[in-house]
Structure 1
Amino acid sequence: MNVLILLATFFSMEGLTWLIHRYVMHGFLWVLHKDHHDHRHDGPLEKNDYFFLIFALPAIVLMYAGSRAHFNYLFFIGAGVSLYGMAYFFVHDIFIHQRIRFLSRTQNPYLLAIRRAHKQHHKHTGREDGECYGFLWVPVKYFRMYFQKKAA
């Protein structure tokens, strides 16, 4: 049952991430997310990187509370959020934005679709008129674009 809670949390994070990205990061917390779009920041970190802490704290609290209660469901919800955060860091920061050079020449259609959708998101430098707010699941047109190339 605990594995199901963890997996359900991980997969439900995609929808929550879309909502947070669209209405919080491109909304009232645009002040933190803006430098991620306009690339105006000093040093290797952006204000946008504070979202790591904003999202990690609830997961830590859930895992701590769940561990104090004999590893109940709260722990596994926090673990699912944490696993999603790790996936996000790996795909977004390392793979897409190449903060660490890794898989830069991949031909994997799924990874190329994610990269392309994110590029479409970043073509909008303002907080309005954006697209592709998701993360692991992107609009089908990007999958078709690369899966059709692979099949040809």
Structure 2
Amino acid sequence: MSWPAGIALFFATVVFMEGFAYVMHRWVMHGPGWFLHASHHAPRHGNWELNDLYAAIFAVPSILLILGGVQLGWWPGYAWIGAGIAAYGAIYFGFHDVIVHRRIATRYLPKSAYMKRIVQAHRLHHAVEAKHGTVSFGFLWAPKPEALKAELKRRDRAGVRAPRGRVAAE
């Protein structure tokens, strides 16, 4: 496979992964996979949460595709696809775990309109503690925060956590 074709396949995979991540987040993590993902919507105690297992689960296809495309004689494009999956994982880790959730200390503050939008959309996603009723499931693309706030309001703020320091009304 030529380098230009491989690089195109790599970038196409990164773009595809945003759609895949949206589907997995909305219908698996907030569906039958909630037993792992619920830990991500609760206050974290320590460095790890059950939700972190998703990173290992999603790394398996990437590793297998790279191994197959490079070492096992499979179609070389599989290595580029596996690398694209790994790149999306690295981008996700940087945005999600470092910038949004600050699991690694950094002094970075979002300044661009794009980064502010992504961070705010993810925080609005986490405003809901429950399995259902949340908004914004993508990560590298997100609706405008105003639209997300309006949707939460339309849902009568069902499942929205109380502000810190206050107990939710019963």
Q: Does 1:94 align with 2:98?
A: yes
* Structure 2 match to 1:119: 123
Greater relative contact order: 1 or 2 (C-alpha under 8 angstroms, separation 6 or more)? 1
- For residue 9 of structure 2, the aligned residue among 5, 15, 27 is 5
- In structure 2, C-alpha distance between the alignment counterparts of 1:108 and 1:101, rounded to whole Å: 20
Identity of aligned residues (%): 37
Partner Cα distance (2:32, 2:74) in 1: 38
Measure the CA separation in 1 of the matches of 2:20 and 2:146. 21
Residue number in structure 2 paired with 1:45: 48
- How far off is 1:4 after superposition? 0.6
Structure that is richer in helix per residue = 1
Q: Which structure would you say has the larger Rg?
A: 2
Answer yes or no: is the 8 Å Cα contact 1:65–1:74 preserved in 2: yes
How big is the alpha-carbon RMSD for the aligned residues of Structure 1 and Structure 2?
1.8
Q: 5+ residue gaps in structure 1?
A: 145-152
Tell whether the 8 Å contact from 1:113 to 1:143 is kept in structure 2 after alignment.
Answer: no
TM-score normalised according to structure 2 size: 0.79
Give the corresponding residue for 1:132.
136
94-103 vs 117-126, which deviates more? 94-103
Q: What's 1:150 paired with? A: none
Deviation at 1:76, TM superposition (A): 0.4
> How far apart are 1:109 and its partner, in Å?
1.3
Cα deviation code 1:52-76 (max 9, x no counterpart): 1000011000100001227700000
* Post-superposition offset of 1:107: 1.9
Residue by residue over 1:9-44, the C-alpha shift from the partner in whole angstroms, topping out at 9 and shown as x without a partner, is: 0001000100000011111110100011012x5421
Cα separation, partners in 2 of 1:120 and 1:66, compared to 1, 3 Å: same
Query: Which of residues 61, 67, 74 in structure 1 aligns to 2:70?
Result: 67
1:105 Cα deviation after fit: 2.7
- 1:57 aligned to which of 57, 60, 75: 60
Structure 1 length as normaliser, TM-score? 0.88
